[in-house]
Amino acid sequence: MLKKVAVLILSVLLITAFATGCGQKNQGAAGDVVKVGWIGSLTGDQAVWGQSELNTLKMLAEELNNSGGLLGKKIEIVGYDTRGDATEAVNAVKRLISQDKVIAIIGPNTSSSAMAISGILEEFKVPDIATVATNPKVTVLDGKVKPFNFRVCFIDPYQGAVAAGYAYDVLGFKKAAVLYDVTDEYSQGLAEFFIKTFEEKGGKIVAKEAFKSGDTDFRPQLSKIKAANPDVIFMPYFFKEVALSAKQARDLGINSVLMGGDGWPSDTLLEMAADAVEGSYFVNHLDFDDPAVQEFKQKYKAKYGKMPELNGYLAHDAFFMLVDAIKRANSFDPVAIRDALETVDIQGITGRIKIGKDTHNPEGKEAAIIKIEGGKYKFQQKYAVTE
Amino acid sequence: MDWFYIEGVLILAGINIIAVLGLSLLTGFTGLFSFGHAGFMAVGAYTSVYFGERMGLPFLVAIIAGGLSAGLMSLFIGRLTLKLKGDYFCIATLGFGEAIRLLLDNLQVFGGARGWPGIPPKVDLTTVVIFSLLGIIFLVFLINSRHGRAMIAVREEELAAKVMGIDVYRYKVISLFISAVYAGVAGGLLGYYLTFLQPKLFGLQKSTEYTIMVIFGGIGSISGSVLAAFLLTVLPEILRSFAVWRFVIYGAAVIFIMIARPQGLMGGKEITLKGVTSILGIPGKNRRTARSGEV
Amino acid sequence: MNQILQQLINGLSIGSVYALMAVGYSLVYSIMNFSNFAHGGVIMLGAYFGFFFVTLYGMPFWVAFLGAGVCSMLVAVLVERVAYKPLRARNAPFLYFMISAMGASMFMENFVIATIGPTFRTYPQIFPSQPFNLGGIYVGRLDMVMFLISCTSLMALVYFIEFTKLGKAIQATAFNPRASALMGINTDFVIIVVFALGGFLAGIAGVLFGMKYTVYPQIGSITIKSFIAAVFGGLGSLTGAVIGSFILGILETLVSGYMMSQYRDLISFSLLILILVFKPMGLMGKSSEEKA
């Protein structure tokens, strides 16, 4: 009996799922609605950032539609979860392109997924704008630009160079320690480029220690770092680990200045780490107090009851990059959009976004240096490195 | 549903079938529980792509090399761990799987944690179907041979098998070797299908998923493993529109099926031609065969 | 010298987190003979229960602490009723229990993501965070609390199992469920008690973990380490689980502190496997018979 009920319920579930899946089949550009795809983590350990991206896109699309839409059509965002897994990203993009017929894709928030999908993008000629995929190889591989991959953020070598340059030249630190997540692509990349620039400038890396994603205790590594007595500890990873490691560093009596990258900014960091991160610096994409940013922040907060994470700001700019390209292409044809994306030059909330034709990166985007003072993010200066 | 999307899911299902077949031999037929299969897959994947892309060997050679390297690795691991029993073996393989992943995370030659992009796509549905058919045929012959029966004997009762003169340790080694080769081949195919490799792809989660598939299909059933690998690859795709609720449903479905049908889909039985014909109402000679083919 | 003492203290503190999680897990193992992978999920829920009791309802710490224990107890019993009891009724092999447990754990983690959301949450400060400074060696207050609680709960459990009537019933059931049922022991009730105890310990572990670190849906994945520690200590032995946890914690710390932290798990797992090669039933493994 139980068996039959089980089979029955399961089949009903599958059939409804199938039916809803097929029901969404209306053609992307045909009709009054144009579909834009999004992929990223809605579940898994990156879910915090992924959900913020999708929320942002849905909010912006709704706003755009309420103010008359785009080229007379309404925009619909179709978002799929990847759990941060490249295999899932490939499936999700295949579904977006072939079944939902999206005209362009925004996301994903990991470089690995962005690299895994480029083959499909090229085969089906649909452009993708990655939000925070910072690995250089996302858009340029073996010296050749990937025609359908774009991004809105700056890349690891740049961010690493900014952090190292600021630490060495502006703050005058000569001895640095690095703690990084060896199993995380972003952390490994940023650590490598920070070390490279810092050493080129004449600084000394006194300790390089690693942990694994999912770890919560960093005292063994920190105790070792403490013995090396660095001026600054570079922590290129995300804010949950930053808060924990900063607190543990202070508990061990480490007084070095802490520094980090764009994995840091979040209201949750200040809440979690409190005074442990006081006096720390990090590299950011924007100044949170910039008046241009306030409007977005408030709208998001009003709609979702919490502050956007950094990914939300970048998803915001990716969205307007796409809108700009569609307007100038005056068409919803994915290839025409791609061509227009190559010449995007807009003012976003994360700075001026001028896409380089040969890199598909926003060129010369200045980084913002933020200091944590009195439990608040204090903008220090815009900082750019010339290479 | 568009063919291109379905094709992608089918290719992935085929790759999973190969890996699950291997694990099925180990878990379902020899009674050893491995949580390190993703590790063997990683070894196979990276070796295949290394031989294929850095050394320029033909695709087929590269895939076979990947399978063999995973097999060699299993001989080494097996030597250390196959004397362990039950959960002790399980934990040792888990440790192995995580160790391999950490090693690859550190190896900058292969791109480290940042992954290895730009692998040319060389796997299509035909390749995967051929590989999985070969995998199924080989396994069917193996299971029905003297060696296969010896492995089942090891699973059922080690001591009795020993008394009967079966070299238990040797059969465990063979079983682990073959299953690692399957995992290695599946890894190589995955790399060439995704065009991207990253240690994160071969985490504990993957090993767990494969184990779930084997049990789901029913211990000691090849057709069950194939069916389960297929269904459980397709299920998350069907549930895709449920967004955050997807794996809530998946988890509930796993429990549900375990309690509703704890012997797994096939319950140790096989889909046979005779069984199928009698289900379809074509009169068969023997009614008992109909029962053995029941799904 | 200072550094090595500090590292040992770090190791003990990490070990006590593992131990706290391993005790409940090992308890269930010793009766049911299967790895209850849902234990991590219950720990995670325990952390959330405690968090909401403290922040939403403003309960004093100890009320929240016990409340989270009781709620997790209910969850663990619920999991047992839904996911394991039907299997027990059919005498299914242990593999099916494990798969069912994995399903339950996946369900719990994703249910929390879908309903409460993936955001990280922090307990308000309950113990002063300033650690004791013993001549340059820093010992966290919460670490000492956790260490004490792991040891106390272990001793209480051992007492309960060895010296109470119910405990004896548990032992009998672990030894031979059918014979003990014939002797008039209500095995179903005994199993509920075991899961309730395991759940209570999970809840406590969750709250302490949440206070020490933070609360998020993936906490359960840490239990993999306790699982390893419990196996290493000898499955089914509570003392073994605790000792195994402390050894793993110290081993990890020493590898990170004096070898290469990049290869921590590679080295520590290889060492554990090597030790298992020489002691195939773990450190305190009871019988040479296969438990699984």
Segment A21-39, tens digit of pLDDT:
444 444 444 578 999 999 9
**Minimal CA–CA distance to B194: which of B57, B40, B42?**
B42
Q: Between B and C, how many CB-CB pairs are < 8 A?
A: 134
For chain B, which domains are there?
Answer: 3-261 (1.10.3470), 265-295 (no CATH)
| CB atoms B91 and C82 under 8 Å | no
Beta bridge partners of C138: C133
**A221, A253 Cβ separation under 8 angstroms:** no
Of the partner residues A214, A216, A220, the one whose CB lies closest to the CB of residue C257: A220
* DSSP 3-state of A281: strand
In whole angstroms, give the CA distance from residue A163 to residue A230.
16
pLDDT of A18 > 80? The answer is no
Residues in chain B with pLDDT values less than 70: 1, 262, 268, 273-295
Q: CA separation (Å) from A106 to A28, A217, A354?
A: 15, 35, 17
Q: Does residue A277 belong to any structural domain of this protein?
A: yes
Q: Does residue C97 belong to any structural domain of this protein?
A: yes
**Minimal CA–CA distance to A267: which of A214, A310, A217?**
A310
Q: Does residue A10 belong to any structural domain of this protein?
A: no
Query: Both A224 and A338 in a single domain?
Result: no
- Mean pLDDT in residue range C230-245: 86
Query: Both A113 and A174 in a single domain?
Result: no
In whole angstroms, give the CA distance from residue A102 to residue A95.
9
In whole angstroms, give the CA distance from residue C110 to residue C112.
5
Q: Does residue A361 belong to any structural domain of this protein?
A: no
Residue B209 C-alpha, separation from nearest chain A C-alpha, in angstroms? 14
Domain extent for C95: 15-116+139-221
Q: What is the ipTM of this complex?
A: 0.88
Does the CB of C245 have a partner CB in chain A at under 8 Å?
no
**Minimal CA–CA distance to A157: which of A195, A204, A127, A124?**
A195
* Share above pLDDT 70 across residues of chain A, in percent, rounded to a whole number: 92
Query: Both A43 and A104 in a single domain?
Result: yes
End-to-end Cα separation, chain A, in angstroms: 72
**A189, A156 Cβ separation under 8 angstroms:** yes
Query: Both A206 and A275 in a single domain?
Result: yes
Query: Both A116 and A170 in a single domain?
Result: no
Query: Both A137 and A23 in a single domain?
Result: yes
Which amino acid is residue A192, in one-letter code? E
| CB atoms C7 and A210 under 8 Å | no
Domain extent for A196: 156-284+367-383
**By CA distance, what is B111's nearest residue in A?**
A185
In whole angstroms, give the CA distance from residue C3 to residue A247.
19
Query: Both A345 and A308 in a single domain?
Result: yes
Q: Does residue C96 belong to any structural domain of this protein?
A: yes
**Minimal CA–CA distance to A111: which of A80, A89, A95?**
A89
**Minimal CA–CA distance to B21: which of B153, B108, B128?**
B128
Q: Between A and B, how many CB-CB pairs are < 8 A?
A: 137
Alpha helix stretches (DSSP H) within C36-185: 39-55, 61-79, 85-89, 94-115, 141-163, 165-175, 177-182
DSSP conformation letters of B36-77: -HHHHHHHHHHHHHIIIIIS---HHHHHHHHHHHHHHHHHHH
Q: What is the pTM of this model?
A: 0.89
- Mean pLDDT in residue range A307-321: 93
By the 10 Å C-beta count (0-12 exposed, 13-18 middle, 19+ buried), C117 is classed as middle
Q: Does residue A372 belong to any structural domain of this protein?
A: yes
End-to-end Cα separation, chain B, in angstroms: 27
Mind listing the pLDDT tens digit for each residue in B217-243?
Answer: 888 889 999 999 999 999 988 888 887
- Mean pLDDT in residue range A125-148: 92
Residue C180 confidence (pLDDT)? 86
Residue B155 confidence (pLDDT)? 87
| CB atoms B241 and A21 under 8 Å | yes
For the record, the structure tokens of C163 come out as 């010296």
CATH number, domain containing residue A253: 3.40.50.2300
Residue B124 C-alpha, separation from nearest chain C C-alpha, in angstroms? 32
Query: Both A61 and A125 in a single domain?
Result: yes
Mind listing the pLDDT tens digit for each residue in A145-165?
Answer: 999 999 999 899 999 999 999
For all residues of chain C together, what is the average pLDDT? Answer: 87
Does the CB of C255 have a partner CB in chain B at under 8 Å?
no
* Residue for token pair 């009791």: C53
By the 10 Å C-beta count (0-12 exposed, 13-18 middle, 19+ buried), C91 is classed as exposed
**C69, C208 Cβ separation under 8 angstroms:** no
Chain A residues in contact with chain C using a Cβ-Cβ cutoff of 8 Å:
2, 42-45, 47-48, 51, 182, 209-212, 214, 216-217, 219-221, 223-224, 226-227, 239-240, 243-244, 247, 251-253, 268, 271-272, 306
* DSSP 3-state of B142: helix
Q: Phi and psi (nearest 5°) for A82? A: -115, -5
